[in-house]
Amino acid sequence: MIGVGLLGAGFIGECYADALDDVKGAELVAHYSRSPERAAAFAARPGRNTRPHETMQALCEDPAVDLVVVALPNEVHLEAVRHVAAAGKGVVCTKPLARTGPEAEEILKVVTEAGIWHGYAESSVFSPNIAKAHEIVEAGGIGDVLWMRAREGHSGPHAPHFWDAETAGGGALLDMGCHTVESARHFFGKDNPVVEVFAWGATLAHKDKTTGEDTAIALLKFAGGQVASIESSWVEKGGMQLRHEFVGSAGRLVTDTASTPVWGFITQPVGYLVEKADADTGWVYPVPEETRAYGFSQQMRHFVDRFAAGERPLETFDDGVVVNQIIDACYLSMKTGRWEPVQYRP
């Protein structure tokens, strides 16, 4: 049984905790939050039996903790990983790995020098829809994948710290584009690097909330000639939009993680419906078992199994570094209005 410690008790921390309930080989034994109130609320959930810790260091040094999951804001990732590395524990970090490429490189350096196991929590590649599409692609179902379009949109982040672009490191592209950038690498091959990018971004609807972009589009050109079109939005009402389209030499595929078999018109609030629902009455489209639909459960099961076996996971901090480097190039392109090469550094 792998003892898991969770750093962070906000929305994504709750998602990871729910996902860990699906993992037979793991037990959530400890948690930490920067907010004492949130830490108490987290511990009070029915069925929870975790020890609260007042500091990140204390959780990482807890002898019952084997694997630490970082579910904290972007600006805290480096500090958190340093604590994990000092304690010699394995680590899983939520997306994006860092705010910039150089910061991500520093995080990778920390775990490499400490010699600890690391996993990058990119849920999109583990979601059932994407996993099935990838299975079909790997079997040759649509021939050679030539082009991909991916769109992720909603009405904006849950937590206020994500609206602070200077602290978080960016806006919608960093927050959401990190998912679709890694989806593109997953399908076009990680040995087929993105060589240059072209991007546009603007603050269209939330000028009173953020100096970061709430809307962005990026084109990623791969060494093999393929192109991915990445769209990220914080301006869409009515719930999550999670769509991928793949065009191959012998067919095409479409996935829509936001589609649901349950929908209807309600006149009385019934509680939580779906992430970013924006309304609790009227036409509603709840997603059953969100943590599984979005890939959180599958990803945590994968990480725990690979950690227990001492094997490299599908997504590591190396992948998180590459994603940050690609997004850095996109932000540069937004400023210059030109195609920009991706600067990869070891």
Task: Report pLDDT digits (tens) over 47-91.
Answer: 888 999 999 999 999 999 999 999 999 999 999 999 999 999 999
Burial class (CB in 10 A: 0-12, 13-18, 19+), 23: buried
Whole-angstrom distance, CA of residue 97 vs CA of residue 73: 10
Higher pLDDT, 276 or 234: 234
Whole-angstrom distance, CA of residue 235 vs CA of residue 210: 12
Residue 346 scores a pLDDT above 80: no
Give the distance, in angstroms, between the CA of residue 102 and the centroid of all CA atoms in the same chain: 19
Residue 8 scores a pLDDT above 90: yes
**pLDDT class of 296 with cuts at 50, 70, 90:** very high
Closest CA to 104 of 78, 137, 69: 78
**pLDDT class of 258 with cuts at 50, 70, 90:** confident
Whole-angstrom distance, CA of residue 264 vs CA of residue 281: 10
For 163, phi and psi rounded to 5 degrees? Answer: -75, -20
- Cβ contacts of residue 35 below 8 Å, gap of 6+? 9
Instruction: Compute the residue count for the chain.
Output: 346
For residues 293-300, give the mean pLDDT. 94
Domains of the chain: 2-122+296-314 (3.40.50.720), 125-288+325-341 (3.30.360.10)
Percent of the chain with pLDDT over 90: 86
**pLDDT class of 276 with cuts at 50, 70, 90:** confident
Q: What is the pTM of this model?
A: 0.95
118-177 pLDDT, tens per residue?
Answer: 999 999 999 999 999 999 999 999 999 999 999 999 999 887 888 999 999 999 999 999
Give the distance, in angstroms, between the CA of residue 282 and the centroid of all CA atoms in the same chain: 30
SS3 103: helix
Whole-angstrom distance, CA of residue 6 vs CA of residue 196: 36
